[in-house]
Every structure is written in structure tokens, then in C-alpha cells.
Amino acid sequence: MRHITSPLAGCLLAASVLAGRHYFPDYFQAIVRFESVLLFLSGLIAGIRLPDIDLALPGLSHRSGITHSCLLAVLPLMLDLPFVAGGLAMGIALHLSSDIQPKTWTGGALIRFPILGSIGMLSPLWILFNIVGCFVVLFHTMPQEHEVGHWAILAVMLLGGGWYFLSEEKKRLLPLITLAFCMLLVHQYNKGRLNVEIVIRYFV
């Protein structure tokens, strides 16, 4: 049931913050500086389990490419909720980093789509691509916060990631390497230090 309760808890926290801003603006001034952090935390709580929501959705197989993707983190951007999007992106990236190391790349470990079915050995590439996409969303939201907010969100990221790997993940090395590589890739690209054509030629 955690794949349902965690996203619901995140949605409830985000809804509470947004309702407080709208219906109780006078009282909300006391926590307005922490609004972005609370929204980021709500996205993180929801995102850690959100990809497995396919277990509860009829018509979707487990490891669905629809839910195991960065697209779920893009949706809040369209609703003008950048910090929810950033938290979702971080949570989904944590989840996908764990999915990168199944016992074998067969059966339920493979990414599947409705009608199309399994994408086979393209599954690890799909996961890596979407972890990168999650960090693109995350880095897109960060400049929209002031300096204090940056540090607070960074603290939430570190605490949330630390809790996830210490309590939920037994094999930590490969997921951590994957996250570090994808984050560095996006960071270098954003700074203009990465020549995409060279990278493509190297791997192709």
C-alpha cells in the first residue's frame, strides 16, 4: 500500500500549503518563507513511491513506462507549481536509481508500455534517460528560489535521499553512482561544458 499512501501524503501536504495560502493569507505570512520548502517536501514524499502507482492502475503493467518516467514531474510545471515539480523529480530519480539494478533484466524488471509491451534491453537506457530528465526539471526549479530557500531545499534533498538509501535500499553503490553521473551530466550541460555531439559519438 505504500505506493498509494506516500503519493497521497505528498498531495495532502501540498494541498494544505496551497489552501493555507489562499484561504488564510494573514496567518500564512508566518510560514511564507518556508512555502517552497514545504511544497518541495510534498513532491519528494509523493515522488519516492509514485512510479509504482502503476500497481494500482488498471491497464498498466508494473514498471510501466508511463509512471516510470520524468513526465510525472513535468506536469506540475504546467500547473505553475515548480517546487512540487522539483520535489517530484528528486523522488522519482531516487526511485528510478533503485530500479536500475534488478536481479536480472527479464520479466517484471523490464519497462512496459500499453499495447507496445516490453521494450526489452532498452529498459536500462529508458531509466537512465528519465533520471537525467528528472534532474533537468530539478535544476530548472532551483533558480526560482532565494538563497535561504536553496539551502533549505538542499537540506531536504540530502535528508530525504539519506533516509531513502539507509532505510529502503540495501545495495546502494550503483544507485548512488547513477544519480551522481546523471546529476553531473545535467550540471555540465547547463554550464555549457558538455559537448553533446562528442558524447553521442563516443557511445554510438
Which of 90, 100, 93 is CA-nearest to residue 171? 100
Map the chain to HEC letters.
CHHHHHHHHHHHHHHHHHHHHHHCHHHHHHHHHHHHHHHHHHHHHHHHHHHHHHHHCCCCCCCECCCCCCHHHHHHHHCCCHHHHHHHHHHHHHHHHHHCCCCCCCHHHCCEECCCEECHHHHHHHHHHHHHHHHHHHHHHHHHCCHHHHHHHHHHHHHHHHHHHHHCCCCCHHHHHHHHHHHHHHHHHHCCCCCHHHHHHHHC
| Tens-binned pLDDT, residue by residue, of the chain (204 aa) | 677 899 999 999 999 988 888 888 777 676 767 888 899 999 999 999 999 999 888 888 889 999 999 999 999 988 999 999 999 999 999 999 999 988 888 888 899 998 888 999 999 999 999 999 999 999 888 765 566 667 788 888 889 888 888 887 778 888 888 898 888 888 777 766 555 444 444 344
Q: What is the model's pLDDT at position 203?
A: 41
Q: What is the model's pLDDT at position 166?
A: 86
Q: What is the pTM of this model?
A: 0.88
At residue 124's C-alpha, the angle toward residues 6 and 92, to 5°, is: 20
How far is it, in rounded angstroms, from Cα 83 to Cα 64? 25
